[in-house]
């Protein structure tokens, strides 16, 4: 798949509408702080796969009625999309394996949460393919924040 110049603000606004059919749509908060001309080199279909994985994981692992925030911002020469939940958090020991193929935490298995352990591994590979990164910070009992960072490219006007 080819990489395109994606206007991240427009893309995020449009893509967020696809979440409206999710049973927990009312728990999703969009915090868009991007400039109108903020772009990144990415493939829109693969970008959807990354963001959907993060959003749907946050919804899957957190309790109904708790917010899942999708925050888009710029920092230095990067576009950041963060997915922040108030779920159970991820133990520090699991953070190092989180992006490994087929990794499933013992807590997820114990709680009977369905999954194959491939979603985050694929999302991480896509982020790297775009020249970006995917990271996670988490506190047990408070929640997690996954951050996708992509190189920001200014869209030419006119």
pLDDT at 111: 77
On the 0-12 / 13-18 / 19+ scale of CB atoms within 10 A, 78 is: middle
Domain map (residue ranges) of the chain: 4-154
Task: Single out the residue of 89, 85, 93 nearest to residue 111, CA to CA.
Answer: 89
- Give the burial string for 99-133 (b: 16+ CB within 10 Å, else e): beeeeebeebeeeeeeeebebbbebbebbeebebe
Question: Is the pLDDT confidence value at 1 over 70?
Answer: no
Classify 7 as helix, strand or coil.
strand
Q: Please name the helix (run of DSSP H) or strand (run of DSSP E) that holds residue 34, with its range, or none.
A: none
Identify the band that residue 4 occupies on the pLDDT scale cut at 50, 70 and 90.
confident
Global model pTM greater than 0.85:
yes
Euclidean distance between CA atoms 61 and 28, whole angstroms: 14
pLDDT at 149: 97
Strand partners, 5: 41
In tens, the pLDDT along 17-61 reads 999 999 999 999 999 999 998 999 999 999 999 999 999 999 999
4-154 has which fold?
Heat Shock Protein 90 (3.30.565)
In tens, the pLDDT along 126-141 reads 999 999 999 999 999 9
């Amino acid at each position: 798949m080819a990489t395109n110049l994606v206007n991240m603000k427009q893309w995020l606004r449009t893509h967020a509408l696809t979440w409206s059919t999710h049973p927990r749509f009312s728990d999703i908060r969009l915090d868009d702080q991007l400039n109108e001309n903020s772009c990144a080199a990415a493939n829109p279909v693969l970008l959807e796969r990354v963001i959907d994985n993060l959003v749907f994981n946050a919804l899957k692992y957190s309790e109904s009625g708790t917010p899942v925030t999708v925050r888009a911002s710029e920092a230095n020469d990067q576009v950041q999309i963060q997915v922040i939940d108030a779920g159970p958090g991820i133990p520090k020991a699991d953070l190092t394996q989180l992006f490994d193929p087929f990794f499933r935490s013992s807590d997820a298995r114990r709680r009977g949460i369905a999954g194959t352990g491939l979603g985050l591994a694929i999302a991480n590979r896509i982020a790297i393919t775009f020249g970006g990164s995917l990271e996670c910070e988490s506190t047990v009992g408070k929640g997690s924040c996954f951050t996708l960072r992509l190189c920001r490219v200014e869209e030419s006007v006119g």
